[in-house]
Structure 1
Amino acid sequence: MASRPPIRFSRSLRLGTSNVVRRSKMFSSTIWEEDHPSAPIMPDNCCGNNCINCVWNDYFAAQADYEEKMKEYQKRATLQGRKVDVIEDFEDPSAKAFAELERKLREKNNS
């Protein structure tokens, strides 16, 4: 039976950080992948009863915040001469339609 080589862990793995993350803190003028805002995830736990505190309300607020952060990110990248690829999220059309319906119902109930 052949023996296996020992497993070696580097310090960066033990701490849960990588060299890229450490370097990005040293060179704050460079935009790194960790600075890229993450898009909110569409909720899948809505009961469909048009609740006052619907999960879609949180999603719409997070989506507006994401769009604002993304504009700031694109502006910083442009100033640094970097090209930013905008990736469109291809969401389920029925989920998008339901989200739009929830938004309209919320606006109707608030007016």
Structure 2
Amino acid sequence: MTAAGAETPEEKVRIVFGSRLLGPAEQEDRAAAKREQSTLVAGVLVPPRPEEPDNCCMSGCVNCVWDRYGEDLEEWTAKKMEAEETLRAMEMLEEEAYSDVPMSIREFIKLEKRLRDKHKQEGTAGG
């Protein structure tokens, strides 16, 4: 919603300045919106990367938009790193599973997997 689309003066002020005190209802709404936009990566729900705020009023609010941005950035970084660690662990397990398979066969499997993914992405049938 933009300031032009706001119906009441309160909504216009909230868009420009945000909420001075983030109450439980607003916190829950914010958390629900973040969950909806999150992506599941290796079993870890990673929130979207937060955008820098551009509506700081510079009056020293209790819940400054920059404080919230910092918290969101820390959460995003932690979840992203957790997902990366999980992916690395999954790759190590995959490598262990193929440890007794000859190198040429492993590379052939990787090639076939890349081709399958490429065809899936392009929407072609492949050979």
Structure 1-normalised TM-score?
0.39
Judging by fraction of residues, say which structure has more helix: 2
Structure 2-normalised TM-score?
0.35
Q: Which has the larger radius of gyration?
A: 2
